[in-house]
Structure 1
Amino acid sequence: MFMRSWQNERLPQSCLAGLPAQVVEERCVYCVNSDNSGWTEIHREAWVSSSLFGVSRAVQEFGLARFKSNVTKTMKGFEYILAKLQGEAPSKTLVETAKEAKEKAKETALAATEKAKDLASKAATKQQQQQQQFV
């Protein structure tokens, strides 16, 4: 069994006529574990794309970091529910796990922001150099 999902994040109507800032495509394949038929394996793949000129790479990096953070939270929630259904107590509460995930997401977002600034700066410098060549 497999599942495929898409997510389009659109910019506000005032920016680029509401074009998608990024598109995230996810594919999950669920199959029986070859060693233990009582287990289910998941193989997850994701593609992040952006068509924003000049910053598409930064948008893709940010989208990938955000996707990873969201998948981590999803899996923690899934594990929590399974543990509750089986009568086991989870090792950490969902609130503790969410706080840790939130802190990690903030760190990742800051790193992505810095990378985006660096890429934008390099692009601006390159554009200035190209303009000077034509003067």
Structure 2
Amino acid sequence: MSRIVKKLISTANAARPVAPYNQAVVADRTVYVSGCIGLDKDTLTLVPGGVTQQTEVALKNLVAVLEAAGSSVDNVVKNTIFVKDLNDFGAVNEAYKKVFSKNFPARSCVQVARLPLDALVEIESIALIDMDPVQRSHL
């Protein structure tokens, strides 16, 4: 009988959490990435500029966490985007399309009252992990 694998993911290549949660959790062959905001990974402050710059850095953080979990943007099946102002939908989409450029995953985008640290955008993701035969043999 196989056992389900649960692994906590942490990488220095993305901004670390600002509250009690992990950057991601792998459950079996699925990775659940916590919401990523436009935090500079070194200073843990929001990047200046606006929603475009924050979206670019949030996506950079997301990619780093996915890679640390053994996944990639190509394996993302669902993203949820939270924005402070739905009028920023177009700007967020332009930055998003630079990272998710083909075979788009399912996605939701909603306006929320407030985000952590007063961020303008937050992106969470669910992705699959490709396992090589050696990894599968350890399950």
Larger radius of gyration: 1
Query: Which has a greater percent of helix?
Result: 1
Question: Higher RCO, 1 or 2 (CA under 8 Å, sep at least 6)?
Answer: 2
TM-score (norm 1): 0.28
TM-score (norm 2): 0.27
